Amino acid sequence: MSARGLGMVLILAAGVAGAEVRDEAFVAGDQRVWIDVLDGGEILWVGPNRDERTQVLSGPDIEVVAALTDAAAVETLGARVLVAVQPGSHSCETLGDPRAYSVVTLGERLATDGPLTTCAELMVATLPGAIVLEAEPRGAGEAWFWVPGKGFRATAP
């Protein structure tokens, strides 16, 4: 490979690596959500604007896996919520990658439940009045239920 070709590969690789570590922002109902990159970590903020926001989570790599913020979610859950995951700090040995899930309730009474630590990648679904985080939908795998105002439980509400 020529020096010019190698240089282009390095520039493209740097662009891909840099794309993963940039600030993010989105609207969630009447609030905004920011994930800011700071000193090699990330901070999840919620608020009406940058000047009146509250820090909710911090960690090495925060990913919002479900934003249940529309009218249907409010009707089903009674609140707007985010489900976020970040790398866990527990050991999984050969069971998978450590993950830590959190549920953030948005609105006047901003609240965070979690982390729910696991070695499985969990999928998010809703039931009337609850969120289900499960490894194998409709299967015999790991499943957790989150109920607004009550937090996580291992059994269906």
Q: How many CA atoms lie within 13 A of 53 on its CB side?
A: 20
**What phi, psi does 13 have (nearest 5°)?**
-65, -40
The widest CA-to-CA distance across the chain, in whole angstroms, is 63
Domain membership of residue 115 (yes or no) is yes
pLDDT tens-digit readout, 12-68: 334 444 445 678 999 998 899 999 999 889 999 999 999 999 999 999 899 999 999
Instruction: State the Cα–Cα distance between residues 12 and 115, nearest whole angstrom.
Output: 36
- Enter the tokens of residue 91: 């050991």
Domain membership of residue 92 (yes or no) is yes
Instruction: State the Cα–Cα distance between residues 129 and 88, nearest whole angstrom.
Output: 27
Instruction: State the Cα–Cα distance between residues 6 and 146, nearest whole angstrom.
Output: 50
Average pLDDT over residues 121-143: 86
Q: How many CB atoms lie within 10 A of CB 17?
A: 9
State the residue range of the domain holding 67.
61-153
Domain membership of residue 41 (yes or no) is no
pLDDT tens-digit readout, 85-129: 999 888 887 667 899 999 999 988 899 999 999 988 999 999 999
Domain membership of residue 47 (yes or no) is no
pLDDT bucket at 7, cuts 50 / 70 / 90: very low
Domain membership of residue 21 (yes or no) is no
Peptide bond before 98: cis, by omega within 30 degrees of 0?
Answer: no
